[in-house]
Structure 1
Protein backbone atom coordinates (compact mmCIF):
# COMPACT_ATOMS: atom_id res chain seq x y z
CA UNK A 1 0.00 0.00 0.00
CA UNK A 2 3.02 2.28 -0.11
CA UNK A 3 1.82 3.91 -3.32
CA UNK A 4 -1.37 5.06 -1.60
CA UNK A 5 -1.59 7.75 1.04
CA UNK A 6 -3.03 6.23 4.19
CA UNK A 7 -5.20 8.64 6.16
CA UNK A 8 -6.54 8.29 9.67
CA UNK A 9 -9.90 9.29 11.08
CA UNK A 10 -10.72 9.27 14.78
CA UNK A 11 -14.22 8.12 15.69
CA UNK A 12 -15.80 7.50 19.11
CA UNK A 13 -14.96 3.78 18.94
CA UNK A 14 -11.35 4.22 17.81
CA UNK A 15 -9.23 5.06 14.76
CA UNK A 16 -9.89 4.11 11.14
CA UNK A 17 -7.03 3.93 8.63
CA UNK A 18 -8.10 4.32 5.02
CA UNK A 19 -7.24 5.66 1.60
CA UNK A 20 -9.42 7.38 -0.92
CA UNK A 21 -9.34 8.34 -4.56
CA UNK A 22 -11.53 10.46 -6.78
CA UNK A 23 -14.21 13.02 -6.05
CA UNK A 24 -17.96 13.01 -6.31
CA UNK A 25 -20.49 10.59 -4.87
CA UNK A 26 -19.05 8.60 -1.91
CA UNK A 27 -18.46 4.89 -2.50
CA UNK A 28 -17.35 2.83 0.51
CA UNK A 29 -15.51 -0.49 0.03
CA UNK A 30 -15.36 -2.97 2.94
CA UNK A 31 -12.94 -5.89 2.64
CA UNK A 32 -13.14 -9.36 4.13
CA UNK A 33 -10.75 -12.07 5.35
CA UNK A 34 -8.03 -12.81 4.48
CA UNK A 35 -7.82 -9.54 2.64
CA UNK A 36 -6.93 -5.85 2.68
CA UNK A 37 -8.00 -2.68 0.83
CA UNK A 38 -5.58 -3.64 -1.95
CA UNK A 39 -8.25 -6.07 -3.18
CA UNK A 40 -10.26 -3.16 -4.50
CA UNK A 41 -7.50 -1.53 -6.57
CA UNK A 42 -9.15 -2.28 -9.93
CA UNK A 43 -12.59 -1.22 -8.72
CA UNK A 44 -11.25 1.99 -7.23
CA UNK A 45 -9.47 2.87 -10.48
CA UNK A 46 -12.68 2.25 -12.42
CA UNK A 47 -15.15 4.11 -10.22
CA UNK A 48 -12.87 7.00 -9.25
CA UNK A 49 -12.64 7.89 -12.93
CA UNK A 50 -16.43 7.88 -13.23
CA UNK A 51 -17.51 10.44 -10.68
CA UNK A 52 -17.11 8.57 -7.41
CA UNK A 53 -15.10 9.34 -4.32
CA UNK A 54 -13.83 5.88 -3.43
CA UNK A 55 -13.21 5.35 0.29
CA UNK A 56 -11.39 2.17 1.31
CA UNK A 57 -10.75 1.53 5.01
CA UNK A 58 -8.81 -1.19 6.72
CA UNK A 59 -11.38 -3.14 8.70
CA UNK A 60 -11.08 -2.99 12.52
CA UNK A 61 -8.03 -4.92 13.72
CA UNK A 62 -6.27 -4.68 10.34
CA UNK A 63 -3.39 -2.33 9.59
CA UNK A 64 -3.65 0.83 11.66
CA UNK A 65 -7.39 0.59 12.23
CA UNK A 66 -8.02 -0.10 15.89
CA UNK A 67 -10.40 -2.65 17.33
CA UNK A 68 -13.62 -1.00 18.56
CA UNK A 69 -13.53 0.24 22.14
CA UNK A 70 -13.68 -2.60 24.70
CA UNK A 71 -11.90 -4.89 22.25
CA UNK A 72 -14.97 -6.29 20.54
CA UNK A 73 -14.84 -7.62 17.00
CA UNK A 74 -18.51 -8.54 16.97
CA UNK A 75 -20.31 -7.77 13.73
CA UNK A 76 -22.41 -5.10 15.44
CA UNK A 77 -19.43 -3.33 17.03
CA UNK A 78 -17.61 -3.24 13.69
CA UNK A 79 -20.72 -1.96 11.91
CA UNK A 80 -21.13 0.81 14.47
CA UNK A 81 -17.49 1.82 14.04
CA UNK A 82 -17.83 1.94 10.24
CA UNK A 83 -21.05 3.93 10.62
CA UNK A 84 -19.26 6.48 12.80
CA UNK A 85 -16.54 6.65 10.17
CA UNK A 86 -19.09 7.42 7.43
CA UNK A 87 -20.84 10.01 9.58
CA UNK A 88 -17.57 11.92 9.84
CA UNK A 89 -16.09 11.65 6.35
CA UNK A 90 -19.30 11.77 4.31
CA UNK A 91 -21.87 13.60 6.45
CA UNK A 92 -25.27 14.18 4.85
CA UNK A 93 -24.24 12.33 1.68
CA UNK A 94 -25.92 9.21 0.32
CA UNK A 95 -23.27 6.50 0.15
CA UNK A 96 -22.93 3.46 -2.08
CA UNK A 97 -21.54 0.58 -0.02
CA UNK A 98 -19.83 -2.53 -1.41
CA UNK A 99 -19.01 -5.26 1.07
CA UNK A 100 -16.96 -8.33 0.20
CA UNK A 101 -16.94 -11.46 2.38
CA UNK A 102 -16.92 -10.24 6.01
CA UNK A 103 -17.34 -6.75 4.62
CA UNK A 104 -20.66 -7.92 3.20
CA UNK A 105 -21.97 -8.83 6.65
CA UNK A 106 -20.78 -5.52 8.10
CA UNK A 107 -22.25 -3.58 5.17
CA UNK A 108 -25.67 -5.12 5.78
CA UNK A 109 -25.54 -4.09 9.43
CA UNK A 110 -24.43 -0.55 8.52
CA UNK A 111 -27.52 -0.28 6.33
CA UNK A 112 -29.74 -1.78 9.04
CA UNK A 113 -28.48 0.73 11.61
CA UNK A 114 -29.16 3.55 9.18
CA UNK A 115 -32.62 2.21 8.35
CA UNK A 116 -33.65 2.07 12.01
CA UNK A 117 -32.40 5.60 12.62
CA UNK A 118 -29.64 4.56 15.02
CA UNK A 119 -27.07 6.39 12.88
CA UNK A 120 -27.08 9.40 10.58
CA UNK A 121 -25.67 7.42 7.65
CA UNK A 122 -27.54 7.80 4.36
CA UNK A 123 -27.36 4.89 1.95
CA UNK A 124 -27.83 5.10 -1.80
CA UNK A 125 -26.99 1.53 -2.82
CA UNK A 126 -25.83 -1.69 -1.15
CA UNK A 127 -23.74 -4.20 -3.11
CA UNK A 128 -22.78 -7.59 -1.65
CA UNK A 129 -19.93 -9.77 -2.85
CA UNK A 130 -19.08 -13.41 -1.94
CA UNK A 131 -21.51 -13.48 1.00
CA UNK A 132 -25.26 -13.02 0.32
CA UNK A 133 -27.79 -11.54 2.68
CA UNK A 134 -27.67 -13.21 6.08
CA UNK A 135 -31.22 -14.54 5.71
CA UNK A 136 -30.45 -16.01 2.29
CA UNK A 137 -27.22 -17.59 3.56
CA UNK A 138 -28.99 -19.33 6.43
CA UNK A 139 -31.93 -20.40 4.29
CA UNK A 140 -29.65 -22.09 1.76
CA UNK A 141 -27.25 -23.68 4.23
CA UNK A 142 -26.57 -27.32 3.39
CA UNK A 143 -23.92 -29.97 4.02
CA UNK A 144 -21.80 -28.87 1.05
CA UNK A 145 -21.70 -25.32 2.41
CA UNK A 146 -20.74 -26.59 5.85
CA UNK A 147 -17.77 -28.39 4.27
CA UNK A 148 -16.76 -25.25 2.36
CA UNK A 149 -16.95 -23.29 5.61
CA UNK A 150 -14.81 -25.76 7.60
CA UNK A 151 -12.08 -23.15 8.03
CA UNK A 152 -14.46 -21.29 10.37
CA UNK A 153 -14.44 -24.29 12.71
CA UNK A 154 -10.68 -24.63 12.38
CA UNK A 155 -10.39 -21.06 13.66
CA UNK A 156 -12.17 -22.10 16.88
CA UNK A 157 -9.33 -24.42 17.95
CA UNK A 158 -7.23 -23.33 20.95
CA UNK A 159 -3.82 -22.05 19.91
CA UNK A 160 -4.70 -21.77 16.22
CA UNK A 161 -3.35 -18.22 15.93
CA UNK A 162 0.07 -19.15 17.32
CA UNK A 163 0.21 -22.26 15.14
CA UNK A 164 -0.53 -20.33 11.94
CA UNK A 165 2.10 -17.78 12.93
CA UNK A 166 4.64 -20.54 13.54
CA UNK A 167 4.08 -21.69 9.96
CA UNK A 168 4.72 -18.15 8.66
CA UNK A 169 1.05 -17.77 7.71
CA UNK A 170 1.26 -20.50 5.07
CA UNK A 171 -2.39 -21.30 5.81
CA UNK A 172 -3.40 -17.81 4.66
CA UNK A 173 -1.70 -18.43 1.32
CA UNK A 174 -3.46 -21.81 1.15
CA UNK A 175 -6.85 -20.13 1.60
CA UNK A 176 -6.04 -17.66 -1.17
CA UNK A 177 -5.12 -20.42 -3.59
CA UNK A 178 -8.17 -22.49 -2.64
CA UNK A 179 -10.59 -19.61 -3.18
CA UNK A 180 -8.79 -17.96 -6.12
CA UNK A 181 -7.04 -20.85 -7.93
CA UNK A 182 -6.26 -18.75 -11.01
CA UNK A 183 -4.18 -16.23 -9.04
CA UNK A 184 -0.40 -16.52 -8.79
CA UNK A 185 1.02 -17.43 -5.39
CA UNK A 186 3.41 -14.50 -5.90
CA UNK A 187 0.60 -12.01 -6.49
CA UNK A 188 1.29 -8.76 -4.55
CA UNK A 189 -2.21 -8.88 -3.08
CA UNK A 190 -1.35 -12.08 -1.22
CA UNK A 191 1.90 -10.61 0.11
CA UNK A 192 0.05 -7.47 1.23
CA UNK A 193 -2.49 -9.59 3.09
CA UNK A 194 0.14 -11.77 4.78
CA UNK A 195 2.23 -8.76 5.81
CA UNK A 196 -0.82 -6.97 7.21
CA UNK A 197 -1.85 -10.00 9.25
CA UNK A 198 1.73 -10.51 10.49
CA UNK A 199 1.89 -7.00 11.90
CA UNK A 200 0.91 -6.61 15.54
CA UNK A 201 -2.25 -8.54 16.39
CA UNK A 202 -3.52 -8.54 12.81
CA UNK A 203 -3.92 -12.30 12.52
CA UNK A 204 -5.47 -12.62 15.97
CA UNK A 205 -7.99 -9.89 15.24
CA UNK A 206 -8.84 -11.24 11.79
CA UNK A 207 -9.53 -14.69 13.21
CA UNK A 208 -11.40 -13.20 16.17
CA UNK A 209 -14.14 -12.16 13.74
CA UNK A 210 -14.92 -15.87 13.35
CA UNK A 211 -14.35 -16.75 16.99
CA UNK A 212 -16.69 -13.95 18.00
CA UNK A 213 -19.26 -15.14 15.48
CA UNK A 214 -19.44 -18.66 16.95
CA UNK A 215 -18.24 -18.12 20.52
CA UNK A 216 -18.34 -14.42 21.49
CA UNK A 217 -17.52 -14.94 25.19
CA UNK A 218 -14.33 -16.92 24.53
CA UNK A 219 -13.20 -14.43 21.89
CA UNK A 220 -12.94 -11.70 24.51
CA UNK A 221 -10.36 -13.65 26.51
CA UNK A 222 -8.45 -15.55 23.81
Structure 2
Protein backbone atom coordinates (compact mmCIF):
# COMPACT_ATOMS: atom_id res chain seq x y z
CA UNK A 1 0.00 0.00 0.00
CA UNK A 2 1.11 3.55 -0.68
CA UNK A 3 2.17 6.40 1.54
CA UNK A 4 -0.54 8.03 3.62
CA UNK A 5 -2.69 10.47 1.67
CA UNK A 6 -5.47 12.71 2.96
CA UNK A 7 -9.13 12.68 1.95
CA UNK A 8 -11.65 15.16 3.37
CA UNK A 9 -15.09 13.69 4.01
CA UNK A 10 -17.91 14.29 6.51
CA UNK A 11 -15.98 17.19 8.04
CA UNK A 12 -12.90 15.09 8.83
CA UNK A 13 -9.43 14.72 7.33
CA UNK A 14 -8.95 10.98 6.80
CA UNK A 15 -5.45 9.60 6.51
CA UNK A 16 -5.66 6.78 3.95
CA UNK A 17 -3.51 4.03 2.49
CA UNK A 18 -4.28 3.20 -1.12
CA UNK A 19 -3.35 0.80 -3.91
CA UNK A 20 -4.41 -0.11 -7.42
CA UNK A 21 -5.33 1.90 -10.51
CA UNK A 22 -6.90 5.31 -9.94
CA UNK A 23 -9.64 4.56 -12.50
CA UNK A 24 -10.65 1.17 -11.07
CA UNK A 25 -13.86 0.45 -9.14
CA UNK A 26 -13.59 1.66 -5.56
CA UNK A 27 -12.91 -0.83 -2.77
CA UNK A 28 -13.19 0.88 0.61
CA UNK A 29 -11.64 -1.09 3.51
CA UNK A 30 -12.53 -0.17 7.10
CA UNK A 31 -10.54 -1.41 10.10
CA UNK A 32 -11.63 -2.06 13.69
CA UNK A 33 -10.18 -1.93 17.23
CA UNK A 34 -7.34 -1.94 18.07
CA UNK A 35 -6.12 -1.84 14.50
CA UNK A 36 -5.09 0.26 11.49
CA UNK A 37 -5.29 0.02 7.68
CA UNK A 38 -1.96 -1.86 7.73
CA UNK A 39 -3.81 -5.08 8.54
CA UNK A 40 -5.44 -4.84 5.10
CA UNK A 41 -2.09 -5.06 3.27
CA UNK A 42 -2.62 -8.62 1.96
CA UNK A 43 -6.21 -8.09 0.83
CA UNK A 44 -5.36 -4.67 -0.58
CA UNK A 45 -2.69 -6.15 -2.83
CA UNK A 46 -5.08 -8.86 -4.02
CA UNK A 47 -7.85 -6.37 -4.79
CA UNK A 48 -5.44 -4.02 -6.55
CA UNK A 49 -4.29 -6.96 -8.65
CA UNK A 50 -7.84 -7.41 -9.93
CA UNK A 51 -8.06 -3.75 -10.95
CA UNK A 52 -9.76 -2.22 -7.91
CA UNK A 53 -8.87 1.19 -6.58
CA UNK A 54 -8.30 0.31 -2.94
CA UNK A 55 -8.60 2.95 -0.21
CA UNK A 56 -8.16 2.02 3.46
CA UNK A 57 -8.70 4.96 5.84
CA UNK A 58 -7.69 5.31 9.44
CA UNK A 59 -11.06 5.43 11.17
CA UNK A 60 -12.18 8.61 12.92
CA UNK A 61 -10.06 9.33 15.98
CA UNK A 62 -7.18 7.07 14.91
CA UNK A 63 -4.13 9.19 14.05
CA UNK A 64 -3.43 10.59 11.52
CA UNK A 65 -7.19 10.90 10.86
CA UNK A 66 -8.88 13.78 12.68
CA UNK A 67 -10.56 13.48 16.01
CA UNK A 68 -14.32 13.89 15.69
CA UNK A 69 -14.89 17.63 16.22
CA UNK A 70 -18.41 16.94 17.48
CA UNK A 71 -17.25 14.07 19.72
CA UNK A 72 -19.38 11.57 17.79
CA UNK A 73 -18.12 7.99 17.81
CA UNK A 74 -21.47 6.25 17.46
CA UNK A 75 -22.04 3.61 14.77
CA UNK A 76 -24.17 6.03 12.77
CA UNK A 77 -21.23 8.42 12.47
CA UNK A 78 -19.00 5.60 11.20
CA UNK A 79 -21.61 4.67 8.59
CA UNK A 80 -21.89 8.32 7.52
CA UNK A 81 -18.10 8.43 7.16
CA UNK A 82 -18.13 5.43 4.82
CA UNK A 83 -20.75 6.95 2.53
CA UNK A 84 -19.06 10.35 2.63
CA UNK A 85 -15.74 8.74 1.65
CA UNK A 86 -17.52 7.04 -1.27
CA UNK A 87 -18.70 10.47 -2.38
CA UNK A 88 -15.34 12.19 -1.85
CA UNK A 89 -13.45 9.47 -3.72
CA UNK A 90 -15.78 9.60 -6.71
CA UNK A 91 -17.22 6.15 -6.15
CA UNK A 92 -20.17 4.84 -8.14
CA UNK A 93 -22.50 1.85 -8.07
CA UNK A 94 -19.63 -0.54 -8.81
CA UNK A 95 -17.97 0.18 -5.46
CA UNK A 96 -17.49 -2.51 -2.81
CA UNK A 97 -17.29 -2.04 0.95
CA UNK A 98 -15.30 -4.24 3.33
CA UNK A 99 -15.10 -3.93 7.11
CA UNK A 100 -13.59 -5.74 10.08
CA UNK A 101 -14.79 -5.41 13.70
CA UNK A 102 -15.93 -1.76 14.12
CA UNK A 103 -15.41 -1.41 10.39
CA UNK A 104 -18.02 -4.13 9.95
CA UNK A 105 -20.46 -2.15 12.11
CA UNK A 106 -19.90 0.83 9.81
CA UNK A 107 -20.56 -1.36 6.77
CA UNK A 108 -23.99 -2.48 8.01
CA UNK A 109 -25.09 1.11 8.55
CA UNK A 110 -23.62 2.42 5.30
CA UNK A 111 -25.25 -0.31 3.20
CA UNK A 112 -28.67 0.21 4.76
CA UNK A 113 -28.49 4.01 4.58
CA UNK A 114 -27.29 4.24 0.95
CA UNK A 115 -27.53 0.87 -0.82
CA UNK A 116 -27.26 2.49 -4.25
CA UNK A 117 -23.61 3.32 -3.55
CA UNK A 118 -22.39 -0.25 -3.09
CA UNK A 119 -22.45 -3.30 -5.35
CA UNK A 120 -21.34 -5.88 -2.78
CA UNK A 121 -19.83 -6.00 0.68
CA UNK A 122 -17.79 -8.13 3.06
CA UNK A 123 -17.80 -8.03 6.85
CA UNK A 124 -15.49 -9.85 9.24
CA UNK A 125 -15.41 -10.69 12.95
CA UNK A 126 -18.58 -8.80 13.93
CA UNK A 127 -22.07 -9.84 12.78
CA UNK A 128 -25.06 -7.51 13.08
CA UNK A 129 -25.91 -6.82 16.72
CA UNK A 130 -29.26 -8.57 16.29
CA UNK A 131 -27.42 -11.84 15.69
CA UNK A 132 -25.60 -11.64 19.03
CA UNK A 133 -28.51 -11.56 21.46
CA UNK A 134 -28.67 -15.33 21.83
CA UNK A 135 -25.04 -16.05 22.72
CA UNK A 136 -23.33 -12.85 23.81
CA UNK A 137 -24.35 -13.17 27.46
CA UNK A 138 -22.88 -16.61 27.95
CA UNK A 139 -20.28 -16.77 30.71
CA UNK A 140 -17.41 -17.52 28.32
CA UNK A 141 -18.28 -14.66 25.97
CA UNK A 142 -18.69 -12.17 28.80
CA UNK A 143 -15.15 -13.05 29.91
CA UNK A 144 -13.88 -12.35 26.41
CA UNK A 145 -15.79 -9.05 26.35
CA UNK A 146 -14.51 -7.71 29.67
CA UNK A 147 -12.87 -4.73 27.95
CA UNK A 148 -16.23 -3.42 26.69
CA UNK A 149 -17.44 -3.02 30.27
CA UNK A 150 -14.08 -1.67 31.48
CA UNK A 151 -14.33 1.02 28.81
CA UNK A 152 -17.57 2.30 30.36
CA UNK A 153 -15.66 3.32 33.50
CA UNK A 154 -13.35 6.24 34.36
CA UNK A 155 -10.50 3.70 34.55
CA UNK A 156 -10.56 3.11 30.79
CA UNK A 157 -8.14 5.83 29.74
CA UNK A 158 -5.59 4.68 32.30
CA UNK A 159 -6.01 1.00 31.43
CA UNK A 160 -5.63 1.40 27.67
CA UNK A 161 -1.84 1.55 27.49
CA UNK A 162 0.55 -0.22 25.12
CA UNK A 163 0.61 -3.34 27.28
CA UNK A 164 -3.18 -3.57 27.25
CA UNK A 165 -3.32 -3.32 23.45
CA UNK A 166 -0.60 -5.96 23.14
CA UNK A 167 -2.54 -8.20 25.50
CA UNK A 168 -5.67 -7.97 23.37
CA UNK A 169 -3.77 -8.96 20.25
CA UNK A 170 -2.13 -11.83 22.14
CA UNK A 171 -5.51 -13.11 23.33
CA UNK A 172 -7.38 -12.53 20.09
CA UNK A 173 -4.77 -13.55 17.50
CA UNK A 174 -1.80 -15.21 19.23
CA UNK A 175 1.50 -14.94 17.41
CA UNK A 176 0.63 -11.95 15.25
CA UNK A 177 1.92 -9.10 17.38
CA UNK A 178 3.98 -7.81 14.43
CA UNK A 179 1.01 -5.59 13.56
CA UNK A 180 1.19 -3.80 16.91
CA UNK A 181 3.62 -1.06 15.93
CA UNK A 182 1.25 0.91 13.66
CA UNK A 183 -1.61 0.39 16.13
CA UNK A 184 0.40 1.83 19.02
CA UNK A 185 1.31 4.82 16.84
CA UNK A 186 -2.32 5.45 15.86
CA UNK A 187 -3.40 5.31 19.52
CA UNK A 188 -0.26 6.91 20.93
CA UNK A 189 -1.78 10.17 22.14
CA UNK A 190 -4.27 10.38 25.04
CA UNK A 191 -6.87 11.95 22.79
CA UNK A 192 -6.65 9.06 20.32
CA UNK A 193 -7.05 6.52 23.12
CA UNK A 194 -10.09 8.47 24.34
CA UNK A 195 -11.54 8.35 20.82
CA UNK A 196 -11.14 4.56 20.58
CA UNK A 197 -12.82 4.20 23.96
CA UNK A 198 -15.54 6.56 22.76
CA UNK A 199 -16.72 3.97 20.23
CA UNK A 200 -17.57 1.62 23.11
CA UNK A 201 -19.13 4.26 25.32
CA UNK A 202 -21.43 5.35 22.51
CA UNK A 203 -22.34 1.72 21.89
CA UNK A 204 -23.95 1.40 25.33
CA UNK A 205 -24.99 5.01 26.01
CA UNK A 206 -27.57 6.45 23.59
CA UNK A 207 -27.21 9.85 25.23
CA UNK A 208 -23.91 10.13 23.32
CA UNK A 209 -25.70 9.79 19.96
CA UNK A 210 -26.02 12.98 17.94
CA UNK A 211 -29.31 13.72 16.12
CA UNK A 212 -27.44 14.44 12.87
CA UNK A 213 -26.61 10.72 12.61
CA UNK A 214 -30.05 9.46 13.59
CA UNK A 215 -30.84 8.06 10.13
CA UNK A 216 -27.54 6.19 9.88
CA UNK A 217 -27.86 4.98 13.46
CA UNK A 218 -31.26 3.50 12.70
CA UNK A 219 -29.94 2.04 9.44
CA UNK A 220 -27.15 0.25 11.31
CA UNK A 221 -29.76 -1.97 12.94
CA UNK A 222 -31.51 -2.86 9.69
CA UNK A 223 -30.88 -5.89 7.50
CA UNK A 224 -30.46 -3.93 4.26
CA UNK A 225 -30.55 -5.30 0.72
CA UNK A 226 -26.93 -5.33 -0.51
CA UNK A 227 -25.67 -8.96 -0.42
CA UNK A 228 -22.63 -9.48 1.75
CA UNK A 229 -20.11 -12.14 2.64
CA UNK A 230 -19.54 -12.66 6.36
CA UNK A 231 -16.21 -14.19 7.49
CA UNK A 232 -15.27 -15.27 11.01
CA UNK A 233 -12.14 -16.86 12.45
CA UNK A 234 -12.75 -20.31 13.94
CA UNK A 235 -10.40 -19.47 16.84
CA UNK A 236 -11.49 -15.89 17.43
CA UNK A 237 -10.48 -14.93 20.98
CA UNK A 238 -12.58 -11.76 20.97
CA UNK A 239 -15.97 -12.98 19.76
CA UNK A 240 -16.31 -16.72 19.92
CA UNK A 241 -17.41 -18.46 16.73
CA UNK A 242 -19.84 -20.47 18.87
CA UNK A 243 -22.02 -17.44 19.69
CA UNK A 244 -22.77 -15.98 16.26
CA UNK A 245 -24.97 -18.61 14.60
CA UNK A 246 -22.75 -19.65 11.70
CA UNK A 247 -24.68 -22.94 11.60
CA UNK A 248 -27.48 -21.13 9.78
CA UNK A 249 -29.16 -18.65 12.10
CA UNK A 250 -26.82 -15.80 11.16
CA UNK A 251 -28.17 -15.68 7.61
CA UNK A 252 -31.53 -14.56 9.00
CA UNK A 253 -29.82 -11.34 10.09
CA UNK A 254 -28.07 -10.67 6.76
CA UNK A 255 -29.46 -9.32 3.46
CA UNK A 256 -30.97 -11.82 0.99
CA UNK A 257 -28.33 -13.54 -1.11
CA UNK A 258 -25.63 -13.25 1.56
CA UNK A 259 -23.13 -15.96 2.48
CA UNK A 260 -21.16 -16.90 5.61
CA UNK A 261 -17.84 -18.70 5.91
CA UNK A 262 -15.75 -19.87 8.86
CA UNK A 263 -12.01 -19.40 8.35
CA UNK A 264 -10.12 -22.25 9.99
CA UNK A 265 -6.89 -21.68 11.95
CA UNK A 266 -7.66 -17.98 12.32
CA UNK A 267 -8.47 -15.76 15.26
CA UNK A 268 -9.92 -12.25 15.39
CA UNK A 269 -7.56 -10.60 12.89
CA UNK A 270 -8.18 -13.26 10.27
CA UNK A 271 -7.05 -11.06 7.38
CA UNK A 272 -3.45 -11.14 8.68
CA UNK A 273 -3.55 -14.69 10.07
CA UNK A 274 -4.91 -16.46 6.99
CA UNK A 275 -4.50 -13.96 4.15
CA UNK A 276 -4.64 -16.54 1.36
CA UNK A 277 -7.92 -18.01 2.60
CA UNK A 278 -9.46 -14.60 3.21
CA UNK A 279 -8.30 -13.23 -0.13
CA UNK A 280 -9.68 -16.24 -1.97
CA UNK A 281 -13.05 -15.96 -0.24
CA UNK A 282 -13.33 -12.21 -0.83
CA UNK A 283 -12.23 -12.23 -4.47
CA UNK A 284 -14.58 -15.12 -5.25
CA UNK A 285 -17.46 -13.24 -3.64
CA UNK A 286 -16.76 -9.98 -5.45
Q: Which runs of 5 or more structure 1 residues have no equivalent in the other structure? A: 116-120
- With the length of structure 2 as denominator, give the TM-score of the two structures: 0.67
Match of 1:206 in 2: 196
- With the length of structure 1 as denominator, give the TM-score of the two structures: 0.85
Say whether residues 1:53 and 2:53 are aligned partners.
yes
Matched length: 207
Match of 1:141 in 2: 136
How much is the aligned-residue C-alpha RMSD, in angstroms?
A: 2.1
Contact 1:25 1:95 in 2 (8 A): yes
User: SS where residue 54 of structure 2 aligns?
Assistant: strand
Post-superposition offset of 1:114: 0.5
Distance 2:33 2:136 in 1: 20
Instruction: Judge which range, 89-98 or 69-78, deviates more.
Output: 89-98
- Measured against aligned partners, the alpha-carbon deviations of 1:131-165 in whole angstroms (never above 9, x if no partner) come to 11222223443413222211100111213213434
Say whether residues 1:125 and 2:116 are aligned partners.
no
Instruction: Judge which range, 63-72 or 94-103, deviates more.
Output: 63-72
Superposed, 1:1-222 pairs within 5 Å as 4-23=2-21, 24-115=24-115, 122-143=117-138, 144-165=140-161, 169-183=162-176, 185=177, 187=178, 189-199=179-189, 201-217=191-207
Instruction: Judge which range, 102-111 or 13-22, deviates more.
Output: 13-22
Distance 1:54 1:91 in 2: 11
Distance 2:197 2:171 in 1: 18
